[in-house]
Amino acid sequence: MLDPRNNNELPAIPAKRYFTIGEVSELCAVKPHVLRYWEQEFPALKPVKRRGNRRYYQRHDVLMIRQIRALLYEQGFTITGARARLEGQQARMEASISNQIVRQMRMELEQLLAILR
Q: Domains for the chain: give ranges and CATH numbers.
A: 4-116 (1.10.1660.10)
CA distance 19 to 59: 8
Q: What is the pLDDT of residue 61?
A: 92
Which amino acid, one-letter code, is at 115? I
pLDDT of residue 103: 78
Q: What is the pLDDT of residue 95?
A: 67
| Cα atoms found within 13 Å of the Cα of residue 15, Cβ hemisphere only | 0
The model's confidence at residue 59, banded by pLDDT at 50, 70 and 90, is very high
> Model pTM greater than 0.75?
no
